[in-house]
Structure 1
Amino acid sequence: MTGPRAGLDRVNEQTNMKKWAGLILVVVLAAAGWHYRDRWLPAADQDAGPAVPMVATAIQTNIQFAVQAAGEISPAEQVSVRPEINGRIELLPVDIGDEVRKGELLFKLDDKELRNQYESTKTMVDRARLELEKSRRDYERAQKLLAENLISQEMFDNARTTYELASNALERAQRELAVIEERLTKTEVRAPFDCTVLTRPVSVGQAVSGSGGFNSGTEVLTIADLNNLVINAHVNQADVPRLKVGQVVEVQVEAVSGLVVTGVVERIAPQATYRNNLKGFAARILLKNPDRRVRPGMTANVRIPVASAENVVAVPLAAVFTEKNPETGVRERFVYVKHGDRYQRRLVDVGVADNFFAEIRAGLQPGEQVALIQPPEELILKEEPPPATTTKAPASETSGEGASSSTAVSRPATAGRA
């Protein structure tokens, strides 16, 4: 048969052949998989026993526990310089980055109007002084004339009143003169300490308002003492009990590669605050003799040593387990010591710990191997031999707190480890 009918039959035949070929391929793969399962899986199940845990060797090393914190560097003293009176900038001899000594001129306001007021008020004071002298003479003369009954009481009273008014006028003029003199001293603003100019938002000739006016006055300069820098760090609340004022810390400045400077914990805030959704306490750290490359606004990483131990037996933190004794209610710390193919559960006394190792004060000897994960129950020895003794090395603590076994490993204990 030829034509469209024959072509359709050929297409159907090809389709049926593909279906059968695919079905045969699936059957072959299934048979091969079943054959592999029968041949290899039983052998694998027979060979696979309890999983052997990873182990580590107890070593003698030095351990240092330190608190890490980050903060921003800022000047210990920073002042926004604003005039106390209204005026116009006449002199502005400093600019951004200038170093100014204590007592040197920062800026000066135009004082011509004040000086004119001063001269005018000074003339008023001189006039009031002359009038007071004249009224005093008249009053003394009236006293004598009244004593001789040469004038009436009314005339005497008038002379006394004139004298008192002249005295009040002189006092008022003197007070006005003193106010103007004080305002004249405020036209010159000098550096309160050795400082560096950080900002200068105004220029010569610009009118400025005094600090007692609107918006606390116009800021003319911002100055700071860059010889004494501080770091305002935020310390986690779990680490604050280990800190104390006067501790020496190491500071790394991110912007200056390789630079490490020292500082001293100067203040610890008494109340917790939140920063980046973390509760902690603000700590102020004073930098000692900061490098000239360190500038305000840079980010610093602070390392605060808390406790240390030298030449002590130590194991990885993962090897120390914590469990509450159901009989005594005391939280016990222990390790699994390897003996041949099995493991012995042994109580240990944990000392200083850092982020990697924990000091073992008693219960373990250098060279003994301990499990890093809990061994299967069938590999744990049922009887516990007496624990090995360990020579306890004194731990030097930078802080009086944090070296005890309960605090040095407080955070890892939450995961079931020391």
Structure 2
Amino acid sequence: MVHRGDGALPAGQPRGRRRARRGAPRGAPGAARAQAPGAADNRGRRQRPQGDHRRRGAGEGGPPLGPSRRGVAEGRAGKARRRSLHHLQRPRVPAKAHRGPLGRDQGPRGLQQVANALAQGEGHPHGGLRHRARRRRTGGKERRHILKRLLAVILAAAALWALWHFYGERLLAPDDDTETSAFTVAPAERGDLRLTVSATGVVTPLVEVEVKSKAGGEIRTFPFREGDRLRKGQIVVTLDPETEKSRVNQATADTLMAEGRLDKARIAERDARLKLKRTTRLFKNGVISRQDLDDAEIALAKAVSDVKIAEAELIRAREALSEAQKRLADTQVRSPITGTILKKFVEEGQVISSTLSSASEGTPLFTMADLDRLNVKAMVDEVDIGAVREGQEAIITVDAWPDRAFTGKVTRILPQGRVERTVTVFDVEIGVEDRDRELLKPGMTAGVEIVTEVRRGVLLAPAEAVRTKSGKTVVHVVRAGRPVAVEVETGKTDGVKTEIVKGLGEDDEVIVSGLDGDGKRRNKRKRRFFFH
């Protein structure tokens, strides 16, 4: 603190001397306070006469001095200036701050005057602290205000451009608000109504064969691949024929031996007959006994039996030879039909078993089909099967050819239904009769529309134009430019067109869309502006 009791430090006392005085021993505080200002305790320090408030010149250095308390005020004001304007030069204390010696009324009030003068910039070339701070705040606010205005103008321009881009043409478009512009009409006209039953199915070949070999052994050759077309009777697979050749040779030998035994039996028979003839003549002449005759007859009978046995053995041997020859021929597997190989199951070098083996049914070699004759096996729901008949026309579509429709006819309806995903369906076979049927491949998923009925020359209206109002079937038509509800009697429908039996004429314009549930015109103009 600057003040201690009623005394004060002299104006010109140095800071160090004042600090020394503050650090004086506490034993004599009363003596220090009892001294008047400017007493002999100043110890020879140079004193400025009371009331001498002249400013120091340049040679004396520093700002002008005032009363003793002015030094303290300048110290505090200096700290304030260094905190805010340390880059500026040190200002001079204004003249009105020098008002003579520090009195009782010039303590805090004098300090406040010095601070106010410094803040207002008196005696400073660049103005006071308060004015400079105000100028800085004012300039920053003006710049921010300008930026805000510029940003608002840019945003407004962007919003106007977007509105014009999206809605300008609609806003400037001519208003076609006639009575018929709010709804869509279609004429009622006569035509053919085709009633169909929809189903899904799979393309399958009409004839498909799994080929096996009657002979067994190692596959020597199988030069064909899947997709190759074969002719009926063409050799496809060749097996190792050595085993079958040996069997043929053995059967041939057995046949030859059987033929030799037959010839020998026949010779024995002829001899027995001749012997019996001579024995009979001798017996009649009484040359030989009855026993000799009986022996001759027994010998003939045995010779005849031997011939029959030899003939049977020959037949059996010939049959074995024929079978061996067939098995030898079966080592060459031939195509049973004219068609295309769909799937191969074996390759060259693989050993297969024959279908004649009791241990298995034989090894399948390949499957083939006649792709010139195709079927579609369709699954028809039990609800619609009652309308399906053999010979009905069918329209077939596949995903591979979305822009094409293939024609066909119902060829077979299986009598037994089956459950498919908790739904009972009946299999219906449809023969493909289209000339471009080669575009269809087995296994393709097909959509089928079976034409169950064709109603020709009937009056038709769009199905969506037929409504139910107050328990009546009505169609809204245009009369004098306004929608009018007309009660009608309908017939069959295919979901797109509906047969009109009574109530409409061929010249009536039927309202298809643009009306609400009560048959009133919708506000098309507002809907176009906000949602289109």
TM-score w.r.t. length of structure 2: 0.52
**Which stretches of structure 1, 4 residues or more, deviate above 4 A after TM superposition?**
54-58, 308-311, 320-323, 336-345, 368-376
**Structure with a larger share of its residues in helix:** 2
**Within the alignment, does 1:192 sit opposite 2:336 as a pair?**
yes
Indicate whether 1:137 and 2:270 are aligned: yes
Deviation at 1:80, TM superposition (A): 0.7
Of 249-258 and 310-319, the range deviating more from structure 2: 310-319
Residue 336 (structure 1) shift: 6.4
Write out per-residue CA displacement over residues 205-251 of structure 1, whole angstroms, 9 at most, x where no aligned residue: 43322224334211012111111111111112222232222223222
Is residue 322 of structure 2 the alignment partner of residue 181 of structure 1?
Answer: yes
* Deviation (angstroms), 1:123: 1.7
Structure 1 partner of 2:123? none
- The residue number in structure 1 matching 2:47 is none
SS in 1 for 2:438: coil
1:171 paired residue number: 312
Question: Given residue 246 of structure 2, which amino acid in structure 1 is its aligned partner?
Answer: E
Any gaps of 5 or more consecutive residues in structure 1?
1-53, 324-331, 380-418
Relative to structure 1, the CA distance from residue 227 to residue 189 in structure 2 (aligned partners, 3 Å threshold; closer, same or farther) is same
> Which amino acid in structure 2 is aligned with residue 354 of structure 1?
D
2:409 equivalent to 1:264: yes
Higher strand share: 1
Q: Residues 276-335 of structure 1, C-alpha deviation per residue, up to 9 Å, x if partnerless?
A: 332221111111234434221111112222334456232425735599xxxxxxxx9733
Residue 335 of structure 1 corresponds to which residue in structure 2? 474
Task: Among all aligned residue pairs of Structure 1 and Structure 2, give the percentage whose two residues are the same amino acid.
Answer: 24
Query: For residues 4-403 of structure 1, what are the structure 2 equivalents within 5 Å?
Result: 59-60=188-189, 62=191, 63-109=193-239, 110=241, 111-148=244-281, 149=283, 151-186=292-327, 187=330, 188-212=332-356, 213-288=358-433, 289-306=435-452, 307-310=454-457, 312-316=459-463, 319-321=466-468, 334-335=473-474, 346=487, 348=489, 350-365=490-505, 366-367=508-509
Question: Deviation string for 1:337-387 (max 9, x for gaps)?
Answer: 689999878351x223112332111123433569988759xx9xxxxxxxx
Q: Residues 105 and 160 (structure 1 numbering): CA distance in 2 closer, same or farther, change over 3 Å?
A: same
User: In 2 relative to 1, CA 140–87 (structure 1 residues): closer, same or farther, beyond 3 Å?
Assistant: farther
Residues of 1 paired with 2:342 and 2:229: CA distance? 10
Q: What is the rounded CA distance, in whole Å, between the counterparts of 2:473 and 2:264 in structure 1?
A: 100
The change in CA–CA distance for 1:192 and 1:351 in structure 2 (over 3 A counts) is same
CA distance in 2, matches of 1:333, 1:210: 74
Instruction: Between the two structures, name the one with larger relative contact order (CA 8 Å, sep ≥ 6).
Output: 1
Name the aligned partner's letter for residue 203 of structure 2.
I
Q: Which has the larger radius of gyration?
A: 2
**Alignment deviations for residues 129-182 of structure 1 (CA, whole Å, 9 cap, x no partner):** 322322221232233134223534134313422331332232233223224313
* TM-score, with structure 1 as normaliser: 0.65
Residue segments in structure 2 that go unaligned for 5+ positions in a row: 1-182, 521-532
Cα shift at 1:98: 1.8
SS in 1 for 2:509: coil
User: Paired residues, what number?
Assistant: 315
Is the partner of 1:66 in helix, strand or coil? Answer: strand
SS in 2 for 1:292: helix
| Residue matched to 2:127 | none
Deviations 1:63-119 (A, max 9, x none): 433222211111111111112343443443433222111122233442322322232
